Amino acid sequence: MRFIIIARANADPIAGSRPGDSWPSEMAAYHDTLARAGVLLDAAGLQPSATGWRLRYADGHCETLEGPHQQGCDHAAAYTVIQVRTRAEALEWARRFPAPAGPGVAAEIEVRPLYDMPLRALPKP
């Protein structure tokens, strides 16, 4: 089973709020532990919403919305994808995820299972 662990931005997602100074090294150690256990599939931090865009689909049209995006406080700041045997195992790994905003600062991560859909081989050019 694959799961994605999403760290939420807790301050200004437009400016690209950054966690405490120790968070990058804590995340590196966490990812190293996941890799040594053989469960890490992918992980990265995300640039501020000002550097991206959204696509909005409505009434049969697709509209491109350039960043920054201020709607709500649901901006993802980083993610980690793991592959484990059970939901309980995913929960245990998620509980070890370093506090995104630093120790003692309110923050949130979200964990969601990924659909297991077979990927079709792309045709050769």
How far is Cα of residue 85 from the mean position of the Cα atoms in its chain?
20
d(CA 48, CA 5): 18
Assess if residue 50 is contained within a domain.
yes
Answer for the pair 71, 9: CB distance below 8 angstroms, yes or no.
no
What pLDDT is recorded for position 46? 86
Residue 100 lies in domain = 2-14+21-113
Q: How far is CA 16 from CA 64, 68, 98, 123, in A?
A: 21, 10, 19, 38
Name the DSSP letter for residue 9. P
Name the token pair of 53. 């865009």
Assign residue 89 the CATH number of its domain. 3.30.70.1060
Please give the tally of structural domains in the chain.
Answer: 1
Give me the average pLDDT of each 10-residue run along the chain (125 residues). Answer: 87 51 85 97 88 90 84 75 97 92 82 86 73
Q: Provide the whole-model pTM.
A: 0.79
> Is 124 among the domain residues?
no
